[in-house]
Amino acid sequence: MSGSPGRGRKVVVFDYGFGNIRSAQRAVARTGAEVEITRDLDTALNADGLLVPGVGAFAACMNGLRQARGDWVVGRRLAGGRPVLGICVGMQILFARGIEHGVASEGLDEWPGTVGPLRADIVPHMGWNTVRPPADSRLFAGIAPGERFYFVHSYAVHDWELPAHHAAQSPAKVTWSTHGEPFVAAVENGPLWATQFHPEKSGDAGARLITNWIETL
C-alpha cells in the first residue's frame, strides 16, 4: 500500500467492552490515520471516523453499548452525517432487533430487519468466504472479484428491508455472501457502513477495504 491515505485523519475505536479493539486499532493505524481506543464521548463524537467493533452475543453487546452511551454517540454522529463503521456484531446491532435462543433484543434500529440464526449445515460460519458487492461499491473499490474475507458468526441478517430511500440518505448498497443461504455481508448507507466479516483479519483485501473507508473521512 503506497503513501499514507489516513494521514491527517483521526479515528476512534469505541471501547465498550466487546470486540477485537487492538486488531482494529492496528488495522486503522496502518493507513497512517491517528487512531485512539476510548469510550470518551466527546472524543468519539468529534473524531473523523468512529469504528464500532463487536463480538459475542447481540444482547450483551447492546447492553454494553448502552451502558457506555455508545448508542447516543452513534445516533448523534449519524444525525450530523459523520462516518461510522460497524464490524461483526458491531454491524448486527445496527439493525432493529436480534433473536438469539428464541429471545428478541432491541438493536439500534438504524436499519430495519432482524438478526437471526444462520441456517446452515455447519455453524458457526468460521473461516474465509467470498462476497458479492454491487458494481458501484466504494467499500470494495480496488478489490478483485473473488477475494475472500474472514467470517466468525452464528447469526446474520437474511433479508434486506430498507426502502430505496430512507431518512434522506442515499440508497443503500448491500453486499451479500452465502453460508447455507444468502446473508448480508456488508452495507454502505450514507455515513453508515458495516461489515459482517472482520476486515482487520482479512489480509490485503481487508486492508484495502479499511483504506477505502478511511479515504471517505
Instruction: With respect to residue 2, please indicate whether it lies within any of the assigned structural domains.
Output: no
Lowest mean pLDDT among 126-130, 149-153, 166-170, 181-185: 166-170
Task: Return the pLDDT at 103.
Answer: 92
From CA 5, how far away is CA 1, in angstroms rounded?
A: 9
Strand partners, 12: 36, 50
200 is catalytic: yes
* 178 domain residue, yes or no: yes
103-148: pLDDT as tens digits: 999 999 999 999 999 999 999 999 999 999 999 999 999 999 999 9
Owner of C-alpha cell 430495519:
112
The residues that bridge with 116 in the sheet, in sequence order, are 156
Residue 152 counted as domain residue: yes
Answer yes or no: 153 catalytic.
no
Q: Is 155 a member of any domain? A: yes
- Structural domain count, the chain: 1
Residue 198 annotated in active site: yes
Residue 3 has pLDDT above 70, yes or no: no
Whole-number pLDDT of residue 168: 45
Looking at 88, 153, 158, 179, which residue is catalytic?
88
Annotated catalytic residue within 158, 161, 200, 215 = 200
Judge whether 12 and 36 are in contact, CB under 8 Å: yes
CATH code of the domain covering residue 105: 3.40.50.880
Q: Considering 161, 181, 198, 215, which one is annotated as catalytic?
A: 198
Per the confidence metrics, is the pTM higher than 0.85? yes
Containing structural domain, residue 61: 10-214
Is residue 58 one of the residues assigned to a domain? Answer: yes
